Structure 1
Amino acid sequence: MSAERKWRKSKEPADLGLYQSLLSSFSADFSFAKTQYYHTKINNSPDSRTLFKTFSALLCLPSPSPASDLTADDFASFFVKKTTTISSQFSAPLPFDHGQTPDTCSLPSFSLLSEDDVSKVMSSNHPTTCPLDPIPTHLLQAISPSVVPTLTHIINSSFITGTFPAVFKACITPLLKKPTLNPALLDNYRPVSLLPFIDKTLEHVVCNQLSSFLTQNNLLDSNQ
């Protein structure tokens, strides 16, 4: 605290460097102490019940949604109506000029991936975890050598068959904009798309290939 007060008073780069160094050291010590605490707690768990309770706390499971009489149909109708209202505010698209010569380039199929390609995509993606993920994403990335062969087969099979795996599809869930809002009012909710990490990996691969094709053939709109 004294280092922070000194920097805020002097605004000197040297004082800022000292403050950041102390802050980094404190953060590292705190993380190490937390790791050691849970390591000891897990190793010394007297029974499975205590062990699962510890893991549940580590996974930071989302709190249950507030009680409400609203149904899935209520949310679906509300958000469809809201989307329609927003769309109606835009002007109609310009008519297509039939005198234009259509571009003959096409993308007949996606390129199959190697295990190295999939491994690079998995490691480059930010390790965010959603409730649809069976295990924390950072743990999945840690054991990626064991799952990459299977994941590569799934992605390539999706490309060959032109089918997106149903289990990878996003789940749309309504969440309160603020915890203090009335859960009985539809206006207080916003739709949130929950994407499993493996789904993001497949979408990332498709996006890379599509973007490359559109860029090489100058097919992107100038405003895109």
Structure 2
Amino acid sequence: MATTFWVGEVFDPTAADGSQVYSTYDDDWEASYGGCDGVLTPECSTEPRTAGNGYMPSSMTPKENPFYLDLPYDDVNDPVAFAERSTVIPWANEPGYAGQETNKNFSYMKNRWVKLVMNDRVCFGQVEDAGPGQYHDAKYVFGSNNARPANKAFNRAGMDVSPAINGCLGFSELDGQDDKLSWQFVDEADVPAGPWLTIVTTSQVNN
């Protein structure tokens, strides 16, 4: 199950993780992204995305990839995830990642590419936040015995996706919690041409 979130969204101002003005990896996420990933009404609201303009927002030009998502594993700020990340993340010892296990300014998860499939549609996106609801769900995120998400909120969603991914996959709702997809991590070299490569996010942790 996947829900939709967007840069600049504030869905619960009283919750520690109730705002997408910042992400777990970027305290200035909205500024880094270039503003509200949607329309100001006056709050930052989502909007339909279409292939005609590459699933881009209608009112701004992003500075980072609009094809973003989160997964329930915060390998920087969650103490459990940080302590185990070099042993549970499959690519932790690959070039570009090896030797970073104690570096709080480096995330193994941020910018990682994910392939997403819903019905007959295939899209790609980058991990840019953590959630929903859980932050060290290693069994689910890294595929241990086909584990289901530990999260019980938001209809047991296992990830949030951006409006661009919502439109690309053809979600039934702009901001619902009834759409199901399949996903897997992929190497950047295996990401095919598509609108998700128009802008690629490369920035590291900004906390």
Higher relative contact order (CA 8 A, sep 6+): 2
Common fold by TM > 0.5? no
Higher strand share: 2
Normalising TM by the smaller chain, what interval? under 0.3
Structure with the greater alpha carbon radius of gyration = 1
Higher helix share: 1
